[in-house]
Amino acid sequence: MKKTQYIEKGIDSIKSIECIVIGVSAGGFEVLSYLMEKIPKDLSCSIVIVQHRTADNDGYLVYHLNLLSKILVKEVDDKEPIKKGVVYLAPPDYHLFIEAGETFSLSRDERVNYARPSIDVLFESAADVYAQKCLGIILTGKNHDGANGLTMISAKGGQVIVQNPHEAEAKEMPNAAISKNNDAIILTLDEIISFISN
């Protein structure tokens, strides 16, 4: 996307983004594979992802994404400092929080929106820490997780993007996010990648 296209779509490309948080569920394996293959190696912020995964997940997703990615993809460790140029993935069956001081915290609190990890939990904590320097992105998924968290990011001055439901494998999560966020920018996956890359 060129700068004029950002303006036309209502995206403030001038803002300094320090943390990108991404929520994805059903259809996530394919979408994240495509996304990680395209992310540039000189990424100047951190990316934190909640992909709904079950407790018995064997860790193959992280291994697979590292094969495709030009930058490190890793599962989060409790109390780990957040570094730029790294892609972090919430461990299965743990909520992922971002704490003041830009560190991670893991919790096995009750499920939120029937999920653990919950996208809302990550997004709301990221909004508190990064405020206007946070970009929240909702991708394909079958439930409503992430819609409230995206609202929090927007309320704190951050930017919010939703994958175009027409191209999403599962439309429910993008549609829920759009219905709760009138200021959400709706982009195709290729447009999202272009924006992150810039």
User: Among 25, 69, 125, 154, which one carries the catalytic annotation?
Assistant: 25
Interhelix angle for 172-180 vs 147-155, to 10°? 40
On whether the CB atoms of residues 17 and 58 are closer than 8 A, the answer is no
User: Among 46, 52, 95, 118, which one carries the catalytic annotation?
Assistant: 52
User: Among 69, 95, 145, 154, which one carries the catalytic annotation?
Assistant: 145
Residue 145 appears among annotated catalytic residues: yes
The span from the CA of 131 to the CA of 126, in Å, is 7
Residue 46 appears among annotated catalytic residues: no
List CB contacts of 137: < 8 A, sequence separation 6 or more.
Answer: 20, 21, 22, 23, 160, 161, 162, 163, 192
Residue 42 appears among annotated catalytic residues: no
In b/e form, how buried is each residue of 167-192, taking b as 16+ CB within 10 angstroms? ebbbbbbbbbbbebbeebbbbebebb
Interhelix angle for 28-38 vs 60-68, to 10°? 30
**Residues annotated as part of the active site:** 25, 52, 145
